[in-house]
Chains A and B, each alone.
Chain A
Amino acid sequence: MTLAYTAVSFPLSTWRSAVFLVAIIGFVLALKGLSSPRHARPGNLLGAAAALVAVGMTFSAGTVNHSARNLGLALGAMALGTAVAVPAARLVKMTAMPQMVAIFNGVGGGAAALISVTELLHIHSTGVSPATYVVVEALLGVLIGCVSFAGSAISFAKLQELMPTRPIVYPAQQPINALVGAGIVALFVTAVVTGSVDYAFGVLGLSLILGTVFTLPIGGADVPVLISLLNAFTGLAVAASGFTLGNPLLIVAGTLVGASGTLLTRLMSKAMGRSLPNILFSAFGAVVTATGTAEGLEGKSVKSSTPEDVAVLLAYARKVAIIPGYGLAVAQAQHVVKELADELASRGVDVFYAIHPVAGRMPGHMNVLLAEANVPYDELKEMDEANPEMPTTDVALVVGANDTVNPAAVDSPGSPIYGMPIIHADQAEHIVFLKRSMRPGFAGIDNALLFDDKTVMLFGDAKDTLQKLVGAVKAV
């Protein structure tokens, strides 16, 4: 602790601190604005303005602008980053939004890790031995940032279908992961004890590997939870950078995101009726869903129907609940489903959307997709709001969803999804399933509802089927 090197602190004059305070208030208000659809957009713009002010002020610092060459490089990198980010963000399809968020999150984690690495190098070059906590902060930044970067990259590849979306398992997965983890701990402790930065590169390399092996066994449908968790990680990595640089703005902004991301991750896993460890590590234990086959389904058959028959059913219904799922997102059928809803509404049918919290690829993803198709948000009913309506609903139209309406979650304690809240499509008078095949949903278990007497099936691509339905309803 002698000759404590407290890192190269960010130059904080009083007025710069004041500007940071303004930016911090802006960020908190931005997050608060997101609590209602009405204030969300102004809130986000306020956050952007706060960021702009903070970044602009940063250029006034002597450390940042003392060298024309460095300043030029900084401006060049920002120009390049903006030139890449704006078109990417504006042009991405709404269905591809989750992977876009994943990649923007990953690069943030990468930046935070690089800051910590550079700072360590800088300390090293001065030849002063740093205080223990400085090394700990920097290494934490490297570790968390790299895990977030690598994990986000793999999530992106999975969602973009550049690699298989199913869980990737290989022999000795758990021991290998444990080994990587133990290696990081060993290098981390060695780096802190010896105060040598060389071990930091070991931590960096192993953290990238950890982020990768940690993400590989997580299946496509669970990736949203993962992105949410990695978002929280990046927040913490940024907070760690803030500690290293002595910058309260980074500490507060990073921590806000770390806290919100953690809460959101917990809400999502709760909605899936599973614990977070189960989501993150279940593929390791190779969940065998032997109990998945509901008893008494053998020999039962499903009733397949035609678009014309279903169109009649829908056109003369009083109340129709549309229950969208992952399949709707995959088929990009959000515009057609809206067309169908409008057609029915013009006939006086009361149409609403019942949205399960984990439907789609991200929490609230279904809301975004339907919003893109101009569905007003007050027609979107969340699960708790939709379920009381189900007993009085004439037709439940299930579009590409399965597990989120599976009654096994309520009535078979042996089922892997037992305990997950569901939308009670089973309480509607009639149930229509739009499905590609009889394949079970992500959880890999049969759905007794498909075999129910009041259920009919419309097989095929959701978009095609919906288009046929729209045509048929118009013809009724």
Chain B
Amino acid sequence: MTGIVWYLTIFVLAAFVGYEVISKVPSILHTPLMSGSNAIHGIVLVGALFIMGEATGAAQLVLGFITVFLATLNIVGGFVVTDRMLEMFRAKPERPAAPARPDAPREREDGSS
């Protein structure tokens, strides 16, 4: 029974850590965060490999194969998609050249409507 209590302890502490680490993420990064955390739970692959290893009989072998396949999709796809998103976040380059037409009148014109 100590096993389950140990695991519950780990579970509760991990929940606090997850909450604390995440609460500081700016909303601009929410999509990558969702995608990145999605990739992290792809670590279920470790469990899937274990299931595959101990599988006996056709049914369990098929189930194991599917499980490893699905988990691989999750972990590989998750990290690749997140990297692709983050690749595009970059800092500002130098500002575009100053006004191309400094002679243009700066007053607003209510020309429309």
Contact = CB atoms under 8 A, between A and B. Distances in A.
Interface size class on chain A is 35 or more
B50 A63 contact: yes
A271 B30 CA distance: 13
Contact of B74 (A58, A73, A111, A243): A111
Given A104-B74, A258-B15, A305-B112, A378 B34 contact: no
Interface string A107-150: 11011101101110110010000000100000000000000000
A290 interface: no
A74 B64 CA distance: 8
Contacts of A303: 113
A251 B11 contact: yes
Interface string B4-47: 10010011001111110111111111111111111111111111
Given A70-B55, A81-B68, A111-B48, A378 B92 contact: yes
A252 B14 contact: yes
Given A70-B53, A70-B64, A316-B108, A40 B77 contact: no
Contacts of B78: 101, 104, 108
B69 A258 contact: no
Interface residues of B, number: 100
Contacts of B96: 342, 345-346
A163 to B, nearest CB: 22
A376 interface: yes
Given A28-B17, A257-B37, A378-B92, A111 B108 contact: no
Per DSSP, are chain B's interface residues mostly helix, strand or loop, or mixed? helix
A11 to B, nearest CB: 9
A217 B111 CA distance: 47
A34 B25 contact: yes
Given A44-B39, A346-B100, A77 B72 contact: yes
Interface in A236-278: 238-239, 241-243, 245-261, 263-264, 267-268, 271
Contacts of A267: 27, 30
A6 interface: yes
Contacts of A86: 76-77, 80
Contacts of B36: 30-31, 34, 40, 43-44, 47
Interface string A373-385: 0101111101000
A101 B35 contact: yes
A179 B29 CA distance: 39
A368 interface: yes
Contacts of B86: 37, 40-41, 44
Residue of B51, B85, B102 with most partner-chain A CB within 10 A: B51
Contact of B31 (A363, A380, A430): A363
B77 A104 contact: yes
Contacts of A43: 36
A166 B45 CA distance: 35
A78 B72 contact: yes
Nearest to A394: B108
Nearest to B80: A89
Contacts of A231: 34, 37-38, 41
A251 B71 CA distance: 16
